[in-house]
Amino acid sequence: MWDLITLIRSAILIFASILVILSAIGIIRFKDDRKKVLYARIHILGIADVACILALLALYEPLLAVTYLILVPFASHAIANAYNYGEEKHD
């Protein structure tokens, strides 16, 4: 029984690492030649957020995973809005 739990936890961590690699590839693919590309990059990083939440759940840290699930999307969107509506123009 213990081996099955270890196997499932390992599979979740491998899946989370694949999601992080895919989000890194997505970030690299976007160029800065489009308007509001920062929002697209933040959206891709949401995949990495999901991977981190899965990893935290696999490591038996549900309170930390729920806190991460609630706070990180708000913080990343606030940073993107601050960048987009900042005083300096980024054209």
Q: Domain segments of the chain: what residues?
A: 2-84
Residues 67 and 70: their CA atoms lie apart, in Å, by 5
Using the predicted structure, report yes or no on whether residue 91 has a pLDDT greater than 70: no
Residues 9 and 84: their CA atoms lie apart, in Å, by 39
Query: In this predicted structure, what is the pLDDT of residue 8?
Result: 86
pTM: 0.64
Query: In this predicted structure, what is the pLDDT of residue 31?
Result: 73
What mean pLDDT, rounded, does the chain reach? 80
